[in-house]
Amino acid sequence: MRFREFEKEVEELVARACASLGYGEVEVEVGPPPGEGYGDLSSAVSLRIAKKTSQSPADVALKMASKMTEEAKGTRYVAGVVPHRAGYLNFTLDYARFSCDSIGDILRGDLGAMPKTGRKVLVEHTNVNPNKALHIGHARNLVLGDSLVNVLRYLGDDVRALNYIDDSGSQFADVIVGLKFLGLPDEAPAGVKFDAYCGDRIYTRVTQEYAKSPGLKEKESLVLREIEKGEGELAEYAKKIVGKILAAQLETCWRLGASYDLLNWESQIVHSGMWDEIFGRLKSMGVVKLESQGENAGCWVIPDTETGEQKVVVRSDGTAVYVAKDIPYAAWKIGLVGDPFEYQVYGAKQPDGAVLNSTVLSGGVKGMDFSGADIAISVIDVRQGYLQKIVAKVLDSMNEGASKRYLHRAYEVVALSKATAERLGFEVEGEFAHMSGRAGLYVNVDTMLASLKERARAETRKRSLSETDAWVDDVSEALAISALRYELLKQDPDKIIVFDADEALRLQGDTGPYLLYTYARARRILDKTDGRPSIDLGSAAKMTKPQELRLVKRMSMLDAAASKAGEYLSPREVAKFAHELAVAFNDFYENVQVNKEADPALRDARLALVDASSKVLAKSMTLIGIPYRTRI
RNA sequence: GGGCCCGUAGCCCAGCACGGAUUAGGGCGUCAGCCUCCGAAGCUGAAGAGCGCGAGCGCAGAUACCAUGGGUUCGAAUCCCAUCGGGCCCGCCA
């Protein structure tokens, strides 16, 4: 987008000035000025040069500015260079030209999406154990991962979204225990989703029963063994149940706007033989060794040379531990092993129309080009950091530098506020309580969305008395999704989100609905006009109000926000951008008349600005998976 | 014992990645305003970041201010070290 071009011009000006004034190689950096009245872009190079050459920063700035003023005339967007007495160089934008170009680009459909990079990226996210409904902690994972997928695609990467299903773990096995050995029905009661039924009524129940009757716990290992074997009546039954749970979970995922390209199954990774191959290689390379003494005697371990500790990877009974299932998956992703899988269409329609595939061990097609990515990103909560590090270390030992291509996007958990946890019937000592699926302490996404939707519905109905119920329903759904996604995305991933049910129901202030409202406001202007959005250099020059200029400038920074999001694997940069753009638009809206403007050329230019900025807002919302409506 | 993360107004957060220009921004809440004017899910203003008390004032203000104390620097909310408080991880569970 055009702001980046302006930046480049400024960087070149500065670099040339440094060279011609004999300052030598200086790292040119430009950034946003601290506030208005300091131009549109600033550079502190003069401070650095002053230090190097022991001159006063103001003098350096003055010299450089006078050098650049002449050259600036040859640029497209740099209107002027102003030295500041503190030693900064401030550059101002030629707004007429800039507005004309920026708005023109966007109206022609150029929203800053980048050309293909050729980089193949896998993003693994969601990964909910198939034994319960998604709770709001899972939603944080999904929102982060799904938004990241969108952002990276916008940045030109070839991205596949992966969802890993742990269908051979104890959490899932416990559901089978409940169904098979506690005699619980394998149909959910009317009105209850199957995933919620399994999580809320079976899994928690089985956990309680384990405490009461120790014999039952043996059934868990029986189920695990049968599942691992992969054949027989119990295994077939488990397969059927996992499919039902997954289908219910995916409904929620899709409702949240996520979509996936591939489902990976833990059971298939185990059966694929990848681990045996990798294990063999690790043995011959001496990365793992058979411990002969101490408490790990009889186990294959990875020694940590720094701490002297060991991580067991194969138990003394010969079975592989959890990380040993993660290692082949990771190696498969970045192409350190051959692709043993075949692929089949999973057969359900996703919201964005993308085809969802599933791995199979036989009966599918080969060579779907999922494995062997340049970069693999795993969105997994911070508690798995240690294990992810071990995985990365093993990858490095298989292939020098491999861990640079295997990235863990960690994020902190979602906890429940004291008030919310207590309302669920739990006693809380501190300020908040960690969720626990086992204990039944969590807030399901579907439940939360239902509450949000009801609140949104009441508000929407109040404002639109003559609309149909279907319309109100659609809008309320969009508001509910936006509220939840924005809430989970806007906060720093390193910080725990303390979720408070009341607080989260807010539809005002810095929320998702603010974005929808702003978009609808903008579209309203375009609906109500007789004019046509159009712009040329002459009409662009008539837009001189600070609110107009701020809006144009902000709008042209979407690509910069997305780049930052991609660089730091942090899509909330886009959420922040969307919010800032919405603020800029509302400021414009309150202070600048569009349809009442008497000068038709200026009116049309403003219409063009409204059209363009609303398109950018919509695009930024799409990147973070927030739906928008022309009216709400 | 080892490691990771967090600590910014009553509450929640942004700013920290690359140290700089100032009133350290925003939301919630509180108080006061704005719909004969393109949608009030919006916007504007005030109070709120140190100390004291009769809670509104007073004291500060070459400046005090981002948990506390040091350090680096011409310059620190931002970098480094230590300390305190909170959370998490370190299993032949997954």
Looking at the 3D structure of chain A, how many domains does it have?
Answer: 3
A162 and A249 inside one domain = yes
Confidence at A35, pLDDT banded by 50, 70, 90: confident
Is there contact between A168 and strand B, defined as CB under 7 Å from any strand atom? Answer: yes
Domain that holds residue A27: 2-93
Nucleotide nearest to A315 (CA to C1'): B92
Q: Straight-line distance from CA A499 to C1' B87, in Å? A: 15
Last residue of a domain, one of A417, A443, A468: A417
What CATH number has the domain bearing residue A63?
3.30.1360.70
Tens-digit pLDDT profile for residues A252-298: 999 999 999 999 999 999 999 999 999 999 999 999 999 988 889 99
| Across A159-173, A264-278, A297-311, A410-424, least confident range | A297-311
A86 and A134 inside one domain = no
Last residue of a domain, one of A417, A435, A468: A417
List, in order, residues 6 or more apart from A603 with CB less than 8 Å away.
A529, A531, A594, A595, A597
Is there contact between A528 and strand B, defined as CB under 7 Å from any strand atom? Answer: yes
Residues 68-97 of A near strand B (Cβ < 7 Å)? 84, 86, 88, 90
A278 and A202 inside one domain = yes
A359 and A444 inside one domain = no
A364 in any annotated domain = yes
Average pLDDT value for chain A: 93
A191 in any annotated domain = yes
Confidence at A143, pLDDT banded by 50, 70, 90: very high
Q: Straight-line distance from CA A630 to C1' B9, in Å? A: 38
Is there contact between A603 and strand B, defined as CB under 7 Å from any strand atom? Answer: no
Provide mean pLDDT across the span A504-513.
94
A101 in any annotated domain = no
By three-state DSSP, how is residue A415 classified? Answer: strand
A146 and A254 inside one domain = yes
**What percent of chain A lies above the pLDDT cut of 70?**
100
So what's the ipTM on this one? 0.93
By three-state DSSP, how is residue A296 classified? Answer: coil
**What percent of chain A lies above the pLDDT cut of 90?**
81
Nucleotides of B under 7 A from a protein CB: 2, 4-7, 12-15, 17-18, 20-23, 26-29, 37-39, 41-44, 74, 86-94
A433 and A335 inside one domain = no
Residues 29-48 of A near strand B (Cβ < 7 Å)? 29, 31, 33-35, 38, 42, 44, 47-48
Last residue of a domain, one of A396, A417, A438: A417
A480 and A368 inside one domain = no
Quick one: pLDDT at residue A293?
86
A114 in any annotated domain = no
A78 and A58 inside one domain = yes
A412 and A431 inside one domain = no
Nucleotide nearest to A29 (CA to C1'): B18
What CATH number has the domain bearing residue A369?
3.40.50.620
Is there contact between A463 and strand B, defined as CB under 7 Å from any strand atom? Answer: yes
On whether the CB atoms of residues A550 and A587 are closer than 8 A, the answer is: yes
Pairwise pLDDT comparison (A92 vs A31), residue with the higher score: A92
Is there contact between A466 and strand B, defined as CB under 7 Å from any strand atom? Answer: no
A566 in any annotated domain = no
On whether the CB atoms of residues A131 and A92 are closer than 8 A, the answer is: no
A88 in any annotated domain = yes
Tens-digit pLDDT profile for residues A1-33: 999 999 999 999 988 888 888 887 677 778 888
Quick one: pLDDT at residue A228?
87
Is there contact between A497 and strand B, defined as CB under 7 Å from any strand atom? Answer: yes
A299 in any annotated domain = yes
A201 in any annotated domain = yes
- Per-residue exposure over A549-569, b if at least 16 CB sit within 10 Å of its own CB, e if not: bbbbbbbbbbbbbbbbbbeeb
On whether the CB atoms of residues A90 and A82 are closer than 8 A, the answer is: yes
A210 and A273 inside one domain = yes
A301 and A429 inside one domain = no
A294 and A435 inside one domain = no
pLDDT of residue A74 exceeding 90: yes
